[in-house]
Amino acid sequence: MTSKSQPQQLNSLDIAMQWAELPAEHLKVALAALEPELARQYELSVLRARLEHQEAQDRRTHNLYLGGLIAGFIIVVAMLTGAVIVGVNDLPWLAAMLAGPSVLSLAGLFVLRRVDSASAREAGRAHREALAASQPPAQPAPVDPGAAQGGAVV
């Protein structure tokens, strides 16, 4: 920017020195002709500054979304890997929690940048169902043989 503005300043200084030799009427006409050009140059510089600011903001937003996408991918892969590892070690309920709807919820959170309340409720319901299905059925309580005969001891 300085390399371009330096010759303009020298030229402007030369022109100003030449104008100093002219009568005042000529100077008024020259300044009136120069004023619209200066206004256009100012508007151009303001628009360039706005454009540079917008491009920088777009780059930051893109980097943020790309970082979220990468983080979501890493978390999902880690959860699925953990689900396989704990599934092999005979912990199916933990594997179901790691590989269940929470993976989809986290992927949606990082990739789409939003969480629907319906999907969050659905993930919670699926977790409860997975936990209920993975627990063994309740054993019936042992019956006291003496209580079954009416309490009489023989």
pLDDT tens digit string along 129-144? 766 766 666 666 666 6
Percentage of the chain lying above the pLDDT 90 cut: 23
pLDDT higher than threshold 90 for residue 44: yes
Model confidence pLDDT, tens digit, residues 28-41: 887 787 788 888 88
Distance of CA 20 to the CA centre of its chain: 60
Distance CA 105, CA 30 (A): 68
Give residue 109's pLDDT.
79
pLDDT higher than threshold 50 for residue 48: yes
Sign of the C-alpha dihedral computed for residues 92, 93, 96 and 98 taken in this order: negative
Model confidence pLDDT, tens digit, residues 84-123: 999 999 888 888 888 877 787 787 777 777 777 776 677 7
Distance CA 98, CA 91 (A): 11
Distance CA 108, CA 85 (A): 24
Give the other-Cβ count within 10 Å of 60's Cβ.
10
* Average pLDDT of the chain to the nearest whole number: 78
pLDDT higher than threshold 80 for residue 79: yes
pTM of the model: 0.53
